[in-house]
């Protein structure tokens, strides 16, 4: 079963204050994968929650060029009106993207690996470090944020932009085709105008192993 994009929602708030930011609702199916990204101007020590009661685990974060955090939940419980929420001490230029995929492995943790890239100053594009994927890899998901509030985003080669948060610059793209057994590959995304510190967090996820092998993990280059 191939990993497939299902839906993506986003929310934002600009007024610095303690509180919770909640996404619009979406129909969350049982056994799916949800990836949640937060772009904010302060440290986050909490974890997202959702209406269905799923558990979210941090994939990666970076605090050197803005503040950027990405979590995921897999083998989800369903809820027809699911919303993802994150409570923080200061909702300072904060945005959330929550994206649902079907077809990821459920018997074991589908997360195979991640990469964090940062870039200071004017650039116009950002590229991950090199990484390799396994024979079971079914999706490479990359989420970018930049200090420029309203850029136009252009997907990297082989990727499709699935969600753009236009209030506070934040975008998610994925590659769901020919992503298995790649060596020294990268993810990238471009943005215009090319101003502001930027980060790109990339993660790759496994489909159920056709042979029943569930221990074929990524090999960093």
Task: Please write the tens of the pLDDT for every residue from 119-132.
Answer: 887 678 999 999 99
List the one residue out of 123, 92, 143, 144 whose CA is nearest residue 192.
123
- Name, of 139-143, 163-167, 196-200, 217-221, the range with top average pLDDT: 139-143
The 10s digit of each residue's pLDDT in 155-168 is 999 999 999 998 88
The pLDDT value recorded for residue 153 is 93
The pLDDT value recorded for residue 211 is 39
Q: What is the mean pLDDT of residues 33-61?
A: 96
Burial degree of 85 (CB within 10 A; 0-12, 13-18, 19+): middle
Residue 216 predicted with pLDDT over 90: no
Number of continuous H segments (helices) and E segments (strands) in the chain: 0, 18
The 10s digit of each residue's pLDDT in 133-144 is 999 999 999 999
Residue 112 predicted with pLDDT over 50: yes
List the one residue out of 50, 56, 52 whose CA is nearest residue 11.
50
pTM attached to this predicted model:
0.92
Contact present, 162 and 153 (Cβ < 8 Å): no
Read off the pLDDT band of 219 (50, 70, 90). very low
List the one residue out of 160, 157, 154, 150 whose CA is nearest residue 125.
154
The pLDDT value recorded for residue 214 is 40
Distance CA 75, CA 137 (A): 16
Distance CA 149, CA 160 (A): 21
Residue 64 predicted with pLDDT over 80: yes
Which tokens is 147 given?
């200090």
Average per-residue pLDDT for the chain? 91
């Amino acid at each position: 079963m191939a990993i497939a994009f299902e839906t993506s929602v986003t929310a934002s708030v600009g007024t610095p204050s303690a509180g919770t930011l909640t996404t619009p609702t979406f129909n969350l199916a049982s056994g799916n994968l949800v990836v949640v990204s937060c772009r904010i101007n302060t440290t986050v020590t909490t974890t997202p929650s959702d209406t269905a009661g799923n558990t979210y685990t941090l994939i990666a974060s970076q605090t050197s060029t803005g503040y950027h955090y990405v979590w995921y939940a897999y083998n989800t419980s369903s809820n027809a009106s699911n919303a993802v929420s994150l409570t923080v001490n200061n909702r300072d230029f904060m945005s959330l993207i929550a994206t649902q995929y079907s077809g990821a492995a459920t018997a074991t943790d589908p997360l195979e690996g991640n990469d964090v890239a940062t870039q200071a100053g004017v650039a116009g594009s950002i590229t991950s470090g090199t990484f390799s994927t396994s024979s079971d890899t079914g999706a490479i998901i990359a989420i970018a944020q930049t200090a420029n509030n309203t850029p136009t985003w252009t997907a990297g080669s082989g990727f499709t932009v699935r969600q753009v948060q236009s209030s506070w610059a934040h975008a998610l793209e994925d590659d769901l085709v020919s992503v298995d057994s790649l060596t020294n590959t990268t993810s990238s995304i471009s943005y215009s105008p090319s101003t502001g510190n930027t980060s790109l967090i990339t993660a790759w996820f496994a489909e159920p192993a056709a042979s029943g092998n569930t221990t074929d993990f990524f090999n960093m280059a």
